[in-house]
Amino acid sequence: MSGTVELRHVDEEMLEGLLAVAVNDAAPDEVMPPVTGPPGWTTTRQDAFRAWHRARRPGLAGPLHECTFAILADGKIVGSARLACRDSQEVLETGMWLARSARGRGIGTAALDAILNEAARADARFVVAETTATNLAAIAALRRNDARLTTDQHTGHVHAHLPLDQAQPPPPASPARAPQ
């Protein structure tokens, strides 16, 4: 990947740009929890997308203990990533999606590295993630970030465990911005 990959908290302006990328370059089931109703990017599904991100705006300290970021590659929104507390803030879960046009360019690996930096700044000790055995790009990005992977042979789900080196000070602040 040449160029820069950065994370920005999803404020209202970023949210509309993120939704536009999702509608134009991703399927709803790739980017958000299921919504009942007809398939595709219906008005109801777009409203649910907005509500999901708005509910996470208070961040890890908020009531949902979760935050979302827009992923930008060379200043252009290309996807989203999230961090969520599991049992405590020492273990954070992450997930992400990329627009179809942004896949296969190393952006996912760079975005995962940025998410790990955010987790370290939040004093997490571990980050976990889930994917499927068929999502080879996600598995490659996880491996490039030194994840320990285990596969459930019955479900095909791959669990990733990424320890964060607490002996090292957190990296300097990234371009990720706090909510306004």
Count of domains for the chain: 1
In a domain, 153, yes or no: yes
Nearest one of 48, 58, 63, 102 to 80, comparing CA atoms: 102
pLDDT by residue for the chain (180 residues), tens only, comes to 568 999 999 999 999 999 999 999 999 999 999 999 999 999 999 999 999 999 999 999 999 999 999 999 999 999 999 999 987 778 999 999 999 999 989 999 999 999 999 999 999 999 999 999 999 989 999 999 899 999 998 998 999 999 997 544 444 444 444 333
Cβ 162 vs Cβ 92: under 8 Å: no
Please report, for the domain that includes residue 45, its CATH number: 3.40.630.30
In a domain, 24, yes or no: yes
In a domain, 176, yes or no: no
pLDDT on residue 3: 82
CA distance 71 to 74: 10
pLDDT on residue 88: 74
In a domain, 52, yes or no: yes
In a domain, 178, yes or no: no
pLDDT on residue 51: 97
pTM of the model: 0.87
In a domain, 179, yes or no: no
Nearest one of 60, 61, 37, 33 to 49, comparing CA atoms: 33
Alpha-helix residue ranges (DSSP H) falling in 26-92: 28-31, 43-55
What is the CA 35 to chain-centroid distance, rounded? 20
Residue 122: which domain range?
5-163
